[in-house]
Amino acid sequence: MVFGKKMKIIYSDRAPKAIGPYSQAVVAGPFLFLSGMLPIDPESGKVVDGIEAQVKQVMVNIGEVLGAAGLGFEDVAKMEVFLMDLGHFQTMNAVYASFFGGEHKPARHAFQVAKLPMGSLIEITCTAFSSR
């Protein structure tokens, strides 16, 4: 769906559906703005168990939405990570790093938050750039 002259809604049925009144992602000009992605298994609709599995599921879900826009992790400019417990930072970092090869490392910041939807331990959002 296209809004205005330069905005387009991105949707992947291989990632979890939005749980509220928002889009999985929006392309505006050369930028893709991805909504906060939860560690929901798109087939079961449930949050996966454990921080390692949750980080992996979030990253897989992000990859699916990026792919629906014709992009990949190499196009990500910035990521924002929301953790229920900063004690999970090292585990998150190890799994997260496995999705970025070579020299590409997007800008990022991480926060500890009081609560996330559906009892999730993590939520990640990103902004990607395409010159295509």
CB 106 within 8 A of CB 76: yes
Q: Is the pLDDT of residue 124 over 90?
A: yes
Q: Is the pLDDT of residue 1 over 60?
A: no
Q: Is the pLDDT of residue 2 over 90?
A: no
Q: How many domains does the chain have?
A: 1
CATH number where 98 lies: 3.30.1330.40
DSSP 18: P
Containing structural domain, residue 77: 2-129
- Against a cut of 0.95, is the pTM above it? no
If you average pLDDT over residues 112-125, what whole number do you get?
A: 97
Q: Encode burial over 27-52: b for 16+ CB neighbours within 10 A, e otherwise.
A: beeeebebbbbbbbeeeeeebbeebe
Unique residue bearing structure tokens 């991105």: 10
Per-residue pLDDT tens digits for 23-57? 999 999 999 999 999 999 999 999 999 999 999 99
Query: Alpha-carbon distance 103 to 81, whole Å?
Result: 20
pLDDT of residue 19: 84
